[in-house]
Amino acid sequence: MNLLKATLISHSFDYELFKDISLHVNEGDRIAITGVSGSGKSTFLHILSTLLKPQSGDVEILGKKLDALSTKDLVHLRSNDLGIIFQAHYLFRGFSAMENLEVASMLSQESIDAELLQRLGISEVMYQKVSELSGGQQQRVSIARVLTKKPRIIFADEPTGNLDNKTANEVMNIFDEYIVNNKAALVLVTHDENLASRCDKIFHLENKELLQVK
């Protein structure tokens, strides 16, 4: 089943980042997008995840064309079907880690998975304020928050950037299991060749073009 179609997407800031690039995401896909810094990887991910409107081209998610959705419908889509893991985490810093997950749980009406917290190695810090956590701990809380929502598509921007190799591999194991069990898909941006190699498909963004290399 097709979950996302991005067709002939172009975008520029002070210069043209990419032109007429396309990507289809199917149920079960694990897709990595690679490229040098400044090539537009994160911008493309923001377009795919509905956070940024492309200057030209069309994005369709779960059979819905984004241009045809009202603001209310777009918020509903983001809240219920899309999970976005940012490099900056965007956790509520005045809340505890558990309170951050409880917000996601309340909005999605999904329960918090204690086994997931254990596997991510954050069970013992869940009642600490986010501001007291290390960057790696915050990153794992952010991952747990997204998975608590049970999204159909996970978008992840350098999701293991602050993690050691062992923890990064466990995060990918968790993603793999989640995708199979929930008929979902993963689209991640990464500089990590090992992380990219764990994906079924790899696309490289360079010279304004998106080329499939695996």
* Architecture of the 2-212 domain: 3-Layer(aba) Sandwich (3.40)
* Rounded Cα gap, residues 189 and 63, in angstroms: 24
Q: Match 């990464």 to its residue by tokens.
A: 190
> Residue 89 — pLDDT band, cuts 50, 70, 90?
confident
Q: pLDDT by residue (tens digit) across 35-87?
A: 999 999 999 999 999 999 999 999 999 999 999 999 999 999 999 999 999 98
**Over the range 159-187, which residues count as b (16 or more CB within 10 Å of their CB) and which as e?**
bbebbeeebbebbbebbeebbeeeebbbb
pLDDT digits over 138-163, tens only?
999 999 999 999 999 999 999 999 89
Residue 141: per-residue pLDDT: 97
At 102-144, the pLDDT tens digits run 999 998 999 999 999 999 999 999 999 999 999 999 999 999 9
**Position 88 confidence tier, pLDDT thresholds 50, 70, 90:** confident
- How far does CA 80 lie from the centroid of its chain? 14
Quote the pTM value.
0.96
**Each residue's pLDDT tens digit, 175-206:** 999 999 999 999 999 999 999 999 999 999 99
